[in-house]
Chain A
Amino acid sequence: MDMTFVTNLLLASVHMATPLIFLALAELYSQRAGLVHIGIEGLAAIGSLTGFLVSYISGSPMTGMFLGALMGILVNMIYAYATITLCAEQTVYGMIINIFALALASFIYRVYFGAGASLAQVNLMSTLSSALGITSDNFFVELLLDQTLMVYLAYGLVLFTAVYFNKTKSGLNYKAVGEYPKAAATLGINVIGVKYVASIICGALAGMGGAYLTTCYSTTYVDGNVAGRGFIALAAVIFGRWSAGGVLLACLFFGFCDALQIRLQISGSSMPYQFFQMIPYIATVAVLTLIGAKKAGPKGAGKPYRKEER
């Protein structure tokens, strides 16, 4: 157990946490507008595939990331229309988005790469240090500079979200929609509009989180590469108690568990590594058990909002 082990474990934690941050923010924006969304996994899958395909064809990971976000929005509009306009049960429809988007991603991949059995690889987004031409083994240089643009964006978004929800009028209105939609409507807030905006933000962030995996992390694509991260993001939002700062800490903690779990597998420890993989899920159940229903998230979350017609 030397210094390199510790520093590399921390670096790996940050790497593992970044896609989670995007996905968890997607969930947070959705829930804050009263939409519980368990379909983040599916949105990320389609974002991941789009990011991969586009950067494979165009050679530009940035374009891949952008279109991944766009595709996330597009698919999430199905969810938005069904849950906001048609008032379908949110959790059920989120589940449906998972089934649909995963099938779609797998289908597109198979149709595009079908018979040609050779490894398709893409270029990843370059890191700041390589753009600046810095090479160093220093831990702080690696931590702060050896990252892609998306990592800085993720942390920037966390900061922005924290300020937006707590310090701006627009953010407070947004939260009101998730808490007391009827009251918000009487204050002249366009509840339906806010919910649709939330779905656009959610789709974009989830698509980016998925695209991160194929434009910043892995040069190849395999079916199921999101690997449950969408649900860990859901756990992170609950574990982080629906605040931007809390979500960030939860993501870092879950990222740390993931990085540790991988190293545990290598060290040949007799403790099954799966127990470490369980931590996010058990932690979530524990948090929900402890805090009680009243504090469990926006009060209007999960309930359909029907605008009275008469």
Chain B
Amino acid sequence: MRKRIAALALALAMVLSLAACGGDNSSKQPGGDKKDDGQGSDKVYRIAMVTDSSITDGSWGTVTYNAMVDAATERGWQYECADAIAQSAYYDTFASYCDQGFDIVYAPGNQYTDAILEVAKEYPDVVFAQLNGSMGTPEKAENGNVMVMFPDSHEIGWTAGILAGLMTQTNTVAFIGAIELDTTQGKYAGFKESAEYVGKQEGKSVTVLDPVYSGDFNASDKGIEFAKALMDQGADVFFGDAGAVDSGARQAIDEHNTAAGKVEVYDIAQPADLLGQNECIICSQVTDNSSLVSMCMESVENGTFEGGAVYGTMGNGVLSAGKISDLVPKEIQDKYNAYLEQVKAGTFMK
């Protein structure tokens, strides 16, 4: 009997909520379209970001998101972001922002290239700003509405490798990537070259372990296990290009250092100054992505946008080295800065 009453009560509740909802539904009909962007001179420009990383990953996702926010705040743009988007959903997400009339769709990474080219074909009026794209992408876009912003990944690798070569005690350094993107491979190549070169200048033979790839920017647990296994192989300076995976690696390094009672394994962060986020970070390779995004916004505002590529190097100030931790001895800091001057002047390894 109790059950019957319960069942009836539930049915009643369902019917009541139906009634309540019916009212709610009818009230929404007459509401007019209040949202109007307004045309003319005080048009509010809008930029949308699509990323497969999480914007709270404390690494690539966070930094590239902040770059957009900073640029948008500076120029008075509205911004939106869709993060942790699966690769299979890039196209849909881009297209849905285009449908909503965004002026710029911004995507930080080379992995978006194919989806961007597809969507750019269908939405000639929307500008696509891709950070870290490939050189050839803008030419492939039929409508000329794709711009790639190109921080020199090789140079980023160099500057990290110099410090790694100077700092390593075990003469073994490691690199963790997420996906074998051109830019990630560029960073690794530069890292390897300069770590070996600088090691030789210092009279030691530095081994750069083969890069490892997690296949996924959000797999922080893989970062933990990767770093542990690489430390087993003797690596004592890490550099990475893998979003939340980097954060996982730093956690494992910090744990190792705590267990050892001293900081003996280091990490070099990128692409913003992350010094202090983890104990093991000794320096960051900083890319001023926000100035790149801002350049793109400016050209859209002025109507001068014409696609193509913008480069960022140490030479033109888009790339720089972040603050150096006290863990790095004074004489090494001096050597490091001397090498950086060479990179800026274009004389490094020549």
Contacts and interface: CB of A to CB of B under 8 A. Distances in A.
Q: Is A bound to B?
A: yes
Interface of A: 4-5, 8, 12, 113, 116-121, 130, 135, 146, 213, 217-220, 222-225, 227, 259, 262-263, 265-266, 268, 309
Contacts of B220: 218, 220, 222, 225
A223 B69 CA distance: 23
Given A119-B247, A121-B58, A220-B247, 4 more contacts: A117-B62, A117-B66, A118-B56, A217-B221
A163 to B, nearest CB: 33
B277 interface: yes
B218 A223 contact: yes
Contacts of A135: 259-261
25 contacts: A113-B56, A117-B55, A117-B69, A118-B56, A118-B62, A119-B57, A119-B59, A119-B62, A119-B277, A135-B261, A217-B221, A219-B251, A220-B220, A222-B57, A222-B220, A223-B218, A225-B220, A225-B221, A227-B219, A262-B222, A262-B229, A265-B213, A265-B214, A265-B226, A268-B210
B194 interface: no
Contacts of B58: 118-119, 121, 220
Contacts of B261: 135
A146 B259 CA distance: 10
Nearest to B218: A222
B229 A263 contact: yes
A259 B210 contact: no
B88 to A, nearest CB: 14
A117 B65 contact: yes
Contacts, number: 84
A223 B225 contact: no
B228 interface: yes
A224 B86 CA distance: 12
A194 B84 CA distance: 41
B54 interface: yes
Contacts of A219: 247, 251
Contact of A223 (B54, B210, B229): B54
B226 A224 contact: no
A266 B248 contact: no
Contact of B56 (A117, A224, A268): A117
A146 B224 CA distance: 16
B228 A8 contact: yes
A227 B232 contact: no
Q: Which of A121, A130, A220, A223 has the most CB of B within 10 A?
A: A220
Contacts of A218: 220-221, 224, 248, 251
Contacts of A118: 56, 58, 62
B225 A119 contact: no
- In the A-B complex, the 10 residue pairs with the closest CB atoms: A119-B58, A117-B55, A262-B225, A222-B218, A117-B65, A219-B251, A117-B62, A266-B212, A266-B229, A220-B220
B244 interface: yes
B247 A12 contact: no
A117 B61 CA distance: 9
A228 to B, nearest CB: 12
Nearest to A16: B225
B342 to A, nearest CB: 33
A269 to B, nearest CB: 12
A119 B221 contact: no
Interface in B185-238: 210, 212-214, 218-222, 224-226, 228-230, 232
Interface string B257-273: 01111000000000000
B232 A8 contact: yes
Contacts of A4: 232
A113 B65 CA distance: 14
Contacts of B3: 309
Contacts of A259: 225
Q: Which of A130, A218, A224 has the most CB of B within 10 A?
A: A218
Contacts of B218: 222-224
Given A222-B244, A223-B84, A265-B212, A119 B229 contact: no
Contacts of A116: 56
B259 A266 contact: no
A49 B69 CA distance: 27
Contacts of A121: 58, 247, 251
Contacts of A8: 228-229, 232
Contacts of B84: 222-223
Q: Which of A120, A130, A222, A224 has the most CB of B within 10 A?
A: A222
B192 to A, nearest CB: 15
Contact of A266 (B57, B219, B230): B230
Nearest to B176: A266
A236 to B, nearest CB: 18
A217 B133 CA distance: 35
A33 to B, nearest CB: 20
Contacts of B213: 265
Contacts of B210: 268
A266 B251 CA distance: 18
A225 B218 CA distance: 9
Given A118-B58, A119-B59, A12 B225 contact: yes
A5 B230 CA distance: 11
Contacts of A266: 212, 226, 229-230
B52 to A, nearest CB: 12
Given A5-B232, A218-B251, A219-B251, A227 B221 contact: yes
Nearest to A259: B225
B344 to A, nearest CB: 30
Interface string B26-62: 0000000000000000000000000000111111011
A217 B232 contact: no
B176 to A, nearest CB: 10
Contacts of A223: 54, 84, 218
B56 A119 contact: yes
